[in-house]
A and B are shown apart, each in its own frame.
Chain A
Amino acid sequence: MEFNLQDVDAIIDQWGPKPASLLQIMLDINHRYHYLPKESLSRVAERLVMPINHVYSVATFFKVFSLKPRGRTIMHVCTGTACHVKGTPRLLDRLEQDLHLKPGETTADMAITLETVNCVGACASAPVVVVEGVTHAEVTPNKVSKIAKGLRQRESVASDQ
């Protein structure tokens, strides 16, 4: 998504430009762009009338935020306890082989980012992988390989058009 200050302002206005809204505003910005663009952080500091280092302290403290641009699609692999004992490490191994990504990394063409998450509350279906809000249940290494392949194919179709 193209960065645009009006959108950031709209998010700030929705929550109100007050210090207590900081986290909620940043969550929405992060959700929109998949990361926190530098310009958005200075805008937030300016509108909420707070030092920029305070905004940065929050941006670096919480796990969801990224200061680096991330891929168009983010794959969240659950590393919660239930998923761990049911085989998440093997899913990560397989993705490393298929996509050459370690958790936190993005493919060179900015298509896919691999992230881990500490439990998404679907533990009964462990191990789970969440892609674009869809929770894939009881994922095996072969299944995760297929999901990654599907994302890759979609990307190449999109870039052909």
Chain B
Amino acid sequence: MNRLNSMQDLETLREEAIARHQRLKKWVRVCSGTACHSQGGEQVVHAFQQYLNARGLTVEYMVKPTGCNGFCAQGPIVVVEPENVFYARVGADRVDEIMERTVLGDEILDDLLYVNPETGAKIAHEHEIPFFAGQERMVFHSTGINYVTDVEDYISRGGYSALAKTLSEMSPEQVIAEVKLSGLRGRGGGGFPTGVKWESCRRARGETKYVICNADEGDPGAYMDRSVMEGNPHQVIEGMIIAAYAIGATEGYIYCRFEYPLAVKNAGWALEQARAYGLLGQNILGSSLSFDIFINRGAGAFICGESTALMASLEGKIGEPRGKHIHTVEKGLWNLPSNLNNVETYANVPMIISNGGKWYAGIGTERSKGTKIFSLVGKINNTGLVEVAMGTPLRKIVYEIGGGIPKGKCFKAVQTGGPSGGCIPEALIDLPVDYEKLKEAGSMMGSGGMIVMDNETCMVDVARYFLNFLTEESCGKCVPCRMGVKRMHEILAGICQGKGEPGDVERLEELCNSIKESALCGLGKSAPNPVLSTIRYFRDEYEAHIHQKKCAARVCKPLITYEIDLDKCTGCGRCRMKCPEGAVLGAKKECHVIDEEACVRCGICLENCKFGAIYVESVGIESPIFVQP
């Protein structure tokens, strides 16, 4: 491959790539994102490639291993183009048939189609499926069609044209003005206006400046950064180069968590390609801009997603944050001006430059512009990545796109914002989702995880879960976080164990308020959110745990019992044999019973009962055993 030495070189390459694609009769997209990969997507790609190779069909047909399609619940996903025929849960054993009948023939294989769970109707084309039809995919638009390891595929869809425009037509000030005009705000959680950050970094003085991409994605339950980095790394890289030009930076870093090995690998690949094509390094596209990016792995610390901790970790130190009185745009990495943005933030930049800030500002709400990718997971039918315009009502996301709650259970809450966020209850299902509205509801945007919970999720347990997470992840530098979060966790754990006492809720609230005021960094300051929001909306659950020793969701182990339904039990003895504690009693062919004292509530009996005779109960006690002083 020749280095691209000018904007013209880039255009020529683009025309060639487009022409090559136009020669194709058909091509097959196979999702190679993490979820599909884990379900056997790789073997599917391999089988297609083998078929094409064996029959010498590689000129007119192509198999494209792509980035994440987003509809992860249906993986491995295969889409035959240009007809847009969507096949769900495809195994490698079906590849020959798909090739023969759908690709070479024009038949549609009925049994591989997606079935709408509501109507039972089969849907043949990707764009007709409600999960996709309800979305507005902009940032994530091409991840699912991008040939991950081929930069020319990205270029053929207009890739790096925003960079070419930046370098040939715009001054750094104009780039910043455009980003400011777009109203783009940071997608890493805080929602700080990106253009304003870039401007302060441009103004800051320092012989070297850095552009850093935060791909640490520590919020559990969120994986959009992973998918974008893994499936369309050049879009992020292009955004970073434009930022470097605007700010005057010469060096960049991608800080990616080690738990995302495929993202590290694909980003590494993309950086190498970009260097080979002259899109990184000295005199990018023949211009005066010189900039390179390196990739660093994190080591499993949530706090390293915080800007100052991330930079300390890049320097090879422990990831302790520092106070916010010195801004990282002035003194960041190695005490030099550094601009840190999230993966999705950078991925928005190329389209803002290409289409203009004004166009972008037309999407979204008054103060939250553009779209946001959410990872819709938990107790929801259509798990996957969902991109919608800011301000889209939660109801649309959960019911129309998400397809509602599985197994006839009912919606209870959705958790957003990771460990710094909160739970939004059913009463607020019509909430338009943007930065402000989420904050008013006691939660926050965070990286965009949306974990849906049903009536079998205990909200006190969820609060306990997050506080346990935060206790482990607190770096220990400041006392309110190190001790206060721990105390909160102890109280919550006590409540879940049936040891809650009257006054616990008030004690929690008091701790929350003082930690909020006094913690050093965002981790501690927002640690009370999961507690406060669950108390705010689910106080009755706290009260039931404390006073009646009852867990209505039947999650908290010390408050539940396993029971056998006498009408359903056939006395087969399976549960008795499987029980590791010998807690199931009964003679063959007679109804069995569970010895509550010996039972450790492991649930093995329930999972192995073939007759559905075992159920879980949380009876609680009638009246509070505590005497109010």
Task: Assess whether B274 is interfacial by the CB under 8 Å rule.
Answer: no
Which residues on A sit within 8 Å (CB–CB) of B378? Answer: 81-82, 85-86, 126
Task: Assess whether B6 is interfacial by the CB under 8 Å rule.
Answer: no
Beta-carbon contact of B223 and A58 below 8 Å: no
Task: Assess whether A150 is interfacial by the CB under 8 Å rule.
Answer: no
Q: How far is the CB of A115 from chain B (nearest CB, A)?
A: 10
Which residues on B sit within 8 Å (CB–CB) of A161? Answer: none
* Interface core residue of B453, B475, B603 (most chain A CB under 10 Å): B603
In the complex, per-residue mask of B280-303: 1 if CB is within 8 Å of any chain A CB, else 0: 000000000000000011111110
Q: How far is the CB of B51 from chain A (nearest CB, A)?
A: 25
Which residues on B sit within 8 Å (CB–CB) of A124? Answer: 35, 72-73, 75, 223, 375, 377, 383-385
In the complex, per-residue mask of B459-495: 1 if CB is within 8 Å of any chain A CB, else 0: 0001001100100110100000000000000000000
Kindly specify which of A5-13, A129-137, A151-159 makes contact with the partner chain: A129-137
Determine the residue in chain A with the shortest Cβ distance to B449: A81
How many Å lie between the Cα of A142 and that of B609 in the bound state?
Answer: 12
In the complex, per-residue mask of A52-92: 1 if CB is within 8 Å of any chain B CB, else 0: 00000110011111000000000000011111111000100
Which residues on B sit within 8 Å (CB–CB) of A63? Answer: 299-301, 472
Using C-beta atoms within 8 Å of the partner chain, give the interface range for chain A.
35 or more
Q: How far is the CB of B607 from chain A (nearest CB, A)?
A: 6
Beta-carbon contact of A84 and B259 below 8 Å: no
Determine the residue in chain A with the shortest Cβ distance to B314: A20
With A24-B297, A124-B72 in contact, is A90–B220 under 8 Å at CB? Answer: no
Cross-chain contact of A85 among B219, B457, B607 (Cβ < 8 A): B457
Task: Assess whether B109 is interfacial by the CB under 8 Å rule.
Answer: no
In the complex, per-residue mask of A108-146: 1 if CB is within 8 Å of any chain B CB, else 0: 000000000111111111101000011111001110000
Which residues on A sit within 8 Å (CB–CB) of B457? Answer: 85
Task: Assess whether B319 is interfacial by the CB under 8 Å rule.
Answer: yes
Q: How far is the CB of A97 from chain B (nearest CB, A)?
A: 5
Which residues on B sit within 8 Å (CB–CB) of A81? Answer: 220-221, 378, 415, 418, 449, 451, 465-466
With A81-B418, A122-B34 in contact, is A58–B316 under 8 Å at CB? Answer: yes
Which residues on B sit within 8 Å (CB–CB) of A93? Answer: 600, 602-603
* Interface core residue of A57, A86, A133 (most chain B CB under 10 Å): A86
Task: Assess whether A43 is interfacial by the CB under 8 Å rule.
Answer: no
Beta-carbon contact of B221 and A135 below 8 Å: no
Which residues on A sit within 8 Å (CB–CB) of B602? Answer: 90, 93-94, 97
Task: Assess whether A27 is interfacial by the CB under 8 Å rule.
Answer: yes
Beta-carbon contact of A118 and B299 below 8 Å: no
With A90-B602, A122-B223, A141-B604 in contact, is A62–B300 under 8 Å at CB? Answer: yes
Cross-chain contact of A125 among B38, B462, B473, B607 (Cβ < 8 A): B38
In the complex, per-residue mask of B431-474: 1 if CB is within 8 Å of any chain A CB, else 0: 00000000000000000010101000100001001100100110
Beta-carbon contact of A94 and B604 below 8 Å: yes
Q: How far is the CB of A47 from chain B (nearest CB, A)?
A: 13
How many Å lie between the Cα of A137 and that of B37 in the bound state?
Answer: 10
Q: How far is the CB of A54 from chain B (nearest CB, A)?
A: 8
Which residues on B sit within 8 Å (CB–CB) of A137? Answer: 35, 38-39
Q: How far is the CB of B420 from chain A (nearest CB, A)?
A: 12
Beta-carbon contact of A80 and B220 below 8 Å: yes
How many Å lie between the Cα of A135 and that of B36 in the bound state?
Answer: 10
Q: How far is the CB of A144 from chain B (nearest CB, A)?
A: 11
Task: Assess whether B202 is interfacial by the CB under 8 Å rule.
Answer: no
How many Å lie between the Cα of A79 and that of B472 in the bound state?
Answer: 13
With A90-B602, A117-B259, A119-B259 in contact, is A141–B375 under 8 Å at CB? Answer: no
How many Å lie between the Cα of A65 and that of B315 in the bound state?
Answer: 18
Which residues on A sit within 8 Å (CB–CB) of B73? Answer: 124
Beta-carbon contact of B39 and A97 below 8 Å: no
Task: Assess whether B260 is interfacial by the CB under 8 Å rule.
Answer: yes
Task: Assess whether A22 is interfacial by the CB under 8 Å rule.
Answer: yes
Which residues on B sit within 8 Å (CB–CB) of A140? Answer: 607
Beta-carbon contact of A26 and B220 below 8 Å: no
Cross-chain contact of B317 among A21, A58, A64, A141 (Cβ < 8 A): A58
* Interface core residue of A63, A64, A123, A142 (most chain B CB under 10 Å): A123
Task: Assess whether A51 is interfacial by the CB under 8 Å rule.
Answer: no
Cross-chain contact of B603 among A64, A90, A133 (Cβ < 8 A): A90
Determine the residue in chain B with the shortest Cβ distance to A124: B72
* Interface core residue of B72, B299, B301, B608 (most chain A CB under 10 Å): B299
Beta-carbon contact of B315 and A20 below 8 Å: yes
Determine the residue in chain A with the shortest Cβ distance to B224: A121
Which residues on A sit within 8 Å (CB–CB) of B301? Answer: 61-63
Cross-chain contact of B299 among A20, A62, A86 (Cβ < 8 A): A62
Task: Assess whether A49 is interfacial by the CB under 8 Å rule.
Answer: no
Determine the residue in chain A with the shortest Cβ distance to B384: A124
Which residues on A sit within 8 Å (CB–CB) of B35? Answer: 122, 124-125, 137
How many Å lie between the Cα of A120 and that of B604 in the bound state?
Answer: 26
Task: Assess whether B502 is interfacial by the CB under 8 Å rule.
Answer: no
Determine the residue in chain A with the shortest Cβ distance to B74: A124
With A118-B218, A123-B377 in contact, is A97–B223 under 8 Å at CB? Answer: no
Beta-carbon contact of A19 and B316 below 8 Å: yes
How many Å lie between the Cα of A83 and that of B383 in the bound state?
Answer: 12
Beta-carbon contact of A121 and B226 below 8 Å: yes
Question: Other than the known A85-B378, A97-B604, A141-B607, what 17 A-B pairs have Cβ atoms closer than 8 Å?
Answer: A20-B315, A23-B313, A62-B299, A65-B299, A84-B220, A93-B603, A118-B302, A119-B220, A121-B217, A121-B227, A122-B34, A123-B375, A123-B449, A124-B35, A124-B375, A126-B377, A135-B38
17 A–B contacts, CB within 8 A, in A order? A23-B299, A24-B296, A58-B317, A82-B221, A85-B379, A117-B259, A118-B259, A119-B219, A121-B34, A121-B259, A122-B38, A123-B223, A123-B375, A124-B375, A124-B383, A125-B75, A125-B383
A-B pairs, top 4 by smallest CB distance, nearest first, are A124-B72, A80-B220, A22-B316, A62-B299
